[in-house]
A and B are shown apart, each in its own frame.
Chain A
Amino acid sequence: MYPRHPYLSGWLLFAVMLFLTFFNLRKRVPFLRIGSTSFWLQLHLYVGVFSGVLFFVHIGWSWPAGTFHQILAWCYVVVFLTGVLGLWISRAFPRMLTVAGYETPFERIPYVRVNLRREAEALVSEGVDGQTSPVIAEFYSKKLGMFFTKSCNRWAHLRQSRAPQAAHVSQFDEVQRYAKKGEREMLDKLRDLVARKHMLDYQYSLQSALRLWLFVHIPLSYSLLIFSVLHIILVHAFSAAAS
C-alpha cells in the first residue's frame, strides 16, 4: 500500500509549482481579462510561501538522500531563495533608484555613457585657451579614461557604498593643487561629468540586478518542473515495482 502522505503533499506541491510557473505565462497574455498582473503577482507570492511549507512537509523535514533528489531539492531551494531575493530587490531598489536621480531607461544607458565620455574627452582635449593641459590630460587618461568607457563599481553601488565617489573626490582634490585658474574651472566641469557617470553607473547596477535575478529564477523554475516530472515518474515506477 502507498504511503499516502508524501504522495498527497508531492502532487499538491507539483500542482502549486505549475501554478507558480503559470505566472510567467500570464504575463505574456496581457490582453486577457483574467485579473491584473499585480493581482497574479500577489497570488504568486502567497502561493510561493505556501509551497515552501509544503516542500518541507513533503521531504519530511529532513534533507533528501541520493544525488538526483538532492539536485531536485537544491533546485527548489535556489528557486525559492531567488524568489525571496527578487521580492526584496523589487521592493527596495525602485525607491533607491528614484532617490538617486538621473533616471535613465536601461537600454539608453550605453548611449548616455558614450555621450558623457565624448563630452569629457572634448573638454579635456579642448584645454584652456586652446591649449591642452598636460596635468589634466594625464589625470584623465590615467584615472578617468576607463571609468568613462564602461560601467564601473557595480558591487559598490549595490552595497550602497560611497567609496568610489569619495576616491574620485580625493583624486580631484589632489590634481587641483597643480592646476591654474582656467584649469580649475575645467576640473569643476569634469567633476560634474564624473558625478553624472557615477549616477549612471548606479542606475546600471541596480537596474541590472532588477533584471538579472529573473535570469536565475525563471530558467531554474522550468528546470525544477522537468526534474519534478522525472521524480514523479521514478517514484511511481519504483512504487509500482515495490508493490
Chain B
Amino acid sequence: MPKPRNMAKSDNNLASITRQAARPKRWDDPLDPAMSDATLDMLMATEPFASMDETAFPASTPLRGILRADTAVREYAAGEIVLRKDDYGTSAFLVLEGEVDVILRPDIDPQLLGRAPRIKKSFIARFAQLWNNNPEPEGWSKKSPRASDNIKGSINKKSGSIYLQDYPQIVSDAKTVALKKGQLFGEISALSRMPRTATVVASTKQARLLEFSWEGLRDIMRFDSALKKQIDKIYRENSLKTFLRHHPLFSHLDESEQVQLCKEAQLENYGEYNWSGSYIRLAKDGDQAIAANEPVIVREGEYSNGIYMISAGFCRVSQKYGNGERTLNYIGAGSAFGYEEIATHWKNPEYEMQSLYTLRSLGYAYLIFIPTASLEKYANRGLSETDFPSSPVGISKSPVPPSDINGDAPSASLMEFMAEHRFFNGTKSMVIDMDRCTRCDDCVRACASTHDGNPRFLRHGPMIDNLMIANACMHCIDPVCMIGCPTGAIHRTSFGGEVVINPATCIGCGTCAANCPYDSIRMVEVRSTEGEFLVDEEYQPIFKATKCDLCVEQVSGPACQNACPHDALSRTDLTQVTSLTQWLKRK
C-alpha cells in the first residue's frame, strides 16, 4: 500500500488501521454504464440538445458529460409501463421515438400495474441480524439498487418488464393523452419531489425514451434557458389544471370554463425553493429572526381580493395578539386561505371583505391565487368550508384548529414551536414524551442493532414542555435534503415514500446533511469489512451519509418505537398536529 512521502514513522499506526480506496465521485456510477459514444452522438444531434449552446455549460459539467452519466436510452414495447401513478420517481423522460400514453382517468387497478409488497427481511434473515451484522459499524456496502431504478423493482423477472395485458381494452374507456417525439414527461414529479401524478404506458410497438436522472435534468435546466422555460410552462399548465379540476369549488365547471379559470388564475412563488440554507442561518439568530424573514402573502386587515390555494410548501396563519402575533395554524398543499371572508360576504354583503388573518410563507410556498372576480364567476357558492378536501396538513378549512371541538387543540406555545422549527414538514417524526422517557437508550441500541451497529439518530433535539423532537429523519413532505444530491443517492422509496439513502451511490459530499434543516443526517467515516477506516489517495477519510430509513426492511416497523419499554417514543405525523396532542394526552 503506498504511503504519503511525508508520513512520519510514528504514523505507522495510521497505516495499520486504514486502507486506501478511490474517493467516490459524481458520475462514477452512470445511469447507463453501457452508454456508447454512438448513442451519445445521436443524442447530441437530437432536439432539444442539438440546439443547446454547449459553451453555456461549465467545463466541470459539460452537456456531453451530463448526457453520458445522467441519462439512459430505454426501449419499451406496446403496453409496457414506463411509470406509475403515485410512485416516487427521480427521473424524467423524453420521447425519442414512438409514442406513450399518459392515462389521466380513471386510475388503473394497482394489481395491473404490478405493485408488489416491499421486500422485507425473512424470518431467518431477521434472526440472522444477531450474528450477520458487520462487527464494525458502517461497513462499506454496495448492495442497494440505484435510486432511479425504482421502476425496475417491480419488473417481472421472467419477461424483464411489466406489461399491461390487453392494453387497448384497459384504456378503451380511459382518458389518455398521447406524447410524441420530443415531448418531455415526469419532470414535475422529478423536480418537485412529489409522487407521480399519472401512469404512463408505451402505446406504440417500439417506444424509445431518454431517461434523465433529476440531477441531470436540473443541471441542463440550469445552463439552458430554453429548456427551463419549456419545463416551467408545462409545469404551470399541468399542475394548475389538475389542481383546479379536483377542487370542490371548481369541480362542477365544464372544460371551457376550466380553461378560462386557468387563464385567470395566477401562480405565485414565495420564499426560496431550497429554503433550508437560509433557514439554518436564520435559526442561529433565534426565532424572531426566522419569523421576521418569512415573506408576508396576506396581511391581516387588508382587503381580501381573492383566495390563495397552496399547491406546494407551507404557510403560517397568524393573528395579532397584544403587541405580537399568535400562530393559529400552519397549512400546506391542498389548503385554501381567504375563503372564509369571501363566503361570509356572499352571505352578508354588508360584511367587509377584510382578511382576518396574516398568511406567511414558511420556507418555500407555491400558491395559486384566484381573484375574487373569478370566484364570483366560477366558484360553487353552495359549499361550506367543511366541503373542502382534507389536505396533507389536515387543517385546510379554517385557520382556527378544528380540533378545538374535541378539546385536542394544541397550545399556542406548541404551535409556535412547531412553526418556528418547521416540524410540520415531518410525516414520521420521532417524538419523545420526556415525562415517560427513562433515558435508557434502548431505542438507540435497537436502531444500532438493525443498522450495521450504528444508530441512525440522536436521542436529543429541541424540546417544549415534556415533548422532544429528536434528531431523526422525519421523512418530510418536502424533503429539502434531496435538493442538490449529485448522484440521486438520497431518494424516496417507491411504495411508502420513505426518504432513504442508497449507500452504493452516496459519494459522501455532505450536501444532504448540510441541507437538512433538522440536523437528522450524519456523515460517518466508512470502514472496510475488516474494520479499517477507508481513506482516499491523500489519506483523507471517506464519508457517507446515514440517516433513519424507518426500518423499511424490517417487518416489525421502526425498531426505535418497538423497543421503547415505556411507550415514550412514537413516530408521529406532525402534519396532523392533533395526532401529536392526542398522543401526548394518552394515559
A27 & B563 in contact (Cβ 8 Å cutoff) = yes
Q: Given known contacts A28-B449, A94-B434, is B442 in contact with A33 (CB within 8 Å)?
A: no
Question: How far apart are the CA atoms of A95 and B568 in the complex, in Å?
Answer: 12
User: Which chain A residues border B119 with CB–CB below 8 Å?
Assistant: none
B562 within 8 A of A: yes
Instruction: Verify A31–B559 contact, CB threshold 8 A.
Output: yes
Does B26 touch A at the CB level, under 8 Å?
no
Bound CA span A211–B439, Å: 8
Q: Give the residues in chain A near B180, CB-CB below 8 Å.
A: none
Q: Does A67 contact B (CB under 8 A)?
A: no
The answer to whether A33 touches B438 (Cβ under 8 A) is no
CA–CA, A95 to B554, complex, Å? 32
CB distance from A204 to the nearest CB of B (A): 11
Question: A33 — nearest CB in chain B belongs to which residue?
Answer: B556
Q: With an 8 A cutoff between CB atoms, is A32 at the interface? A: yes
CA distance in complex: A36, B434 (Å): 19
Q: Is B459 an interface residue (CB 8 A)?
A: yes
Q: Are A30 and B556 in contact (CB under 8 A)?
A: yes
- Judged by a CB distance under 8 angstroms, whether A210 is at the interface is yes
Contact of B565 with A31 in the complex, beta carbons under 8 Å: no
Q: Give the bracket for the number of chain B residues in contact with chain A.
A: 35 or more
CB 8 Å contact bits of B461-478 with A (1 = contact, 0 = none): 001011010000000000
Complex Cα distance, B129 from A32, in Å, reads 11
Residues from chain A with Cβ under 8 Å of B565 in the complex: 27, 37-38, 40-41
The interface residues of chain B lying within 8 Å CB-to-CB of A32 are 126-127, 556
Q: A90: CB under 8 A from chain B?
A: yes
Complex CA distance for A91 and B564, rounded to whole angstroms? 14
Q: Are A210 and B434 in contact (CB under 8 A)?
A: no
Q: How far is the CA of A99 from the CA of B79 in the complex (A)?
A: 63
Smallest CB–CB gap between A148 and chain B, Å? 23
Report A201-236 CB contacts with B as 1/0, cut-off 8 Å: 000000100110000000000000000000000000
The answer to whether A98 and B121 have CB atoms under 8 Å apart is no
Q: Is the CB of A210 within 8 A of B563?
A: no
What 0/1 pattern do residues 545 to 556 of B give for CB contact below 8 A with A? 000000100111
Q: How far is the CA of A94 from the CA of B566 in the complex (A)?
A: 11
Task: Tell me if B320 counts as interface (CB < 8 A to partner A).
Answer: no
In the complex, which of the residues A33, A37, A108 contacts B564, with contact meaning CB atoms closer than 8 Å? A37
User: What are the residues of chain B within 8 A of A37 when measuring CB–CB?
Assistant: 442, 562-565
Please, which residues of chain A bring their CB within 8 A of the CB of B129? 31
**Contact yes or no, B437 A30, CB < 8 A:** no
Nearest CB in chain B to that of A41: its residue: B565
Distance (Å) between the CB of B279 and the closest chain A CB? 23
Does A80 have its Cβ within 8 Å of any Cβ on chain B?
no
Residue total for A at the interface (Cβ-Cβ under 8 A): 26
CA distance A30 to B437 in the complex (A): 18
The residues of A that contact B450 with a CB separation of less than 8 Å are 30-31
Interface flags for A158-177 (1: CB within 8 Å of B; 0: not) read: 00000000000000000000
Query: Does A130 make an interface contact (CB < 8 A)?
Result: no
B146 to nearest A CB, angstroms? 26
Contacts of B438 in A (CB 8 A): 89-90, 93-94, 210
Bound-state CA distance A30–B551 (Å) is 11
- A29 interface hit (Cβ, 8 Å): yes
Asked whether, in the complex, the Cβ of A31 is within 8 Å of the Cβ of B449, the reply is yes
CB contacts (< 8 Å) of B436 on chain A: these are 94
| Chain A residue, CB-CB nearest to B561 | A36
A159 to B386, CA, bound (A): 54
Q: How far is the CB of B391 from chain A (nearest CB, A)?
A: 31
**Residue numbers in B under 8 Å from A106 (CB-CB):** 439, 441
By a CB distance below 8 angstroms, the chain B residues around A211 are 440
A103 at the B interface (CB under 8 A)? yes
CA distance in complex: A97, B568 (Å):
14
Could you tell me which residues of chain B, from 444 to 501, have a CB within 8 Å of some CB in chain A? 446, 449-450, 458-460, 463, 465-466, 468
In this complex, which of A31, A94, A95 has the most chain B Cβ atoms within 10 angstroms of its Cβ? A31
Which residues from A are CB-within-8-Å of B567? 36, 38
- A105 close to chain B: CB less than 8 A: yes
Determine the residue in chain B with the shortest Cβ distance to A98: B434
The answer to whether A210 and B449 have CB atoms under 8 Å apart is: no
Asked whether, in the complex, the Cβ of A41 is within 8 Å of the Cβ of B460, the reply is no
**B interface footprint on A133-170 (CB within 8 Å = 1, 0 otherwise):** 00000000000000000000000000000000000000
Cβ contact of A31, chosen from B121, B458, B460, cutoff 8 A: B121
Within the assembled complex, what's the spacing in Å between the Cα atoms of A196 and B459? 21
Cα separation A10 to B105 with both chains bound (whole Å): 69
How many Å from the CB of A38 to the closest CB on chain B?
A: 4
15 other contacts beyond A37-B442, A98-B466, with CB at 8 A cut-off? A29-B130, A30-B563, A31-B126, A31-B450, A32-B126, A33-B555, A36-B561, A37-B563, A38-B567, A94-B568, A97-B434, A103-B460, A210-B438, A210-B439, A210-B440
Shortest beta-carbon contacts, A-B, top 6: A30-B446, A30-B559, A30-B563, A41-B565, A38-B567, A98-B434
23 A-B pairs in the complex with CB atoms less than 8 angstroms apart: A28-B130, A29-B127, A30-B449, A30-B563, A31-B126, A31-B449, A31-B450, A31-B554, A31-B555, A37-B563, A41-B565, A93-B438, A94-B434, A94-B438, A97-B439, A98-B434, A98-B435, A103-B460, A105-B458, A106-B439, A108-B460, A210-B440, A211-B440
